[in-house]
Amino acid sequence: MAGPVALVVLAVLQATGPASWPQDSATLARLEQEWNEAHLRADPTALDRLWAEDLTVAVPEMAPMGKQEVLAFARSERMRFEVYASSDLHYRVYGDAAVVTGRLARTRTLRGQRLEDHWRFTKVYVRRREGWRVVAFHASAAPQ
């Protein structure tokens, strides 16, 4: 009995395990770069492609928001980014889900005021038919 069960477990691990991680990590790294560039360009169309319909965003000093709220804010052009750079990135892939953690440095202008943020963040991606999409983004203030 242990033989067939072990073969099934091995097949599942091969399909979703370490063999796919380097490729998935490279894809997630590219998506992280696209995320940052879309914020710098103030490109809500690019952000819309990266975000799942059921996206939840929770960042310091703001109430949690869904995709449509975040897109509306991005389209308003009330905030412009001069710096939007992530670092210390770590990728973990769990089959059709992935977690990306890291640091984020942002310099932005909002209502004529220049502000800097230094955050630690966690993003949760899910693999859908159309590719990886962010379903959750959480950030908290971090020391520099």
Per-residue pLDDT of the chain (144 residues; tens, 9 = 90+): 455 544 333 344 444 444 466 799 999 999 999 999 999 999 999 999 999 999 999 999 999 999 999 999 899 988 899 999 999 999 999 999 999 999 999 999 988 899 999 999 999 999 999 999 999 999 999 987
Would you state the pLDDT for residue 10?
34
Would you state the pLDDT for residue 144?
76
How many distinct helices (H) and strands (E) make up the chain? 4, 6
Task: Say whether pTM exceeds 0.85.
Answer: no
Q: Report in angstroms the alpha-carbon separations of 13 from 7, 9, 16, 23.
A: 10, 6, 5, 15
- Sign for the CA dihedral angle at 127, 135, 125, 78 comes to positive
The structure tokens 């770590």 sit at 90
Would you state the pLDDT for residue 5?
45
Q: Determine whether domain 2-141 maps to CATH 3.40.50.720.
A: no
Cβ atoms of residues 1 and 102 within 8 Å = no
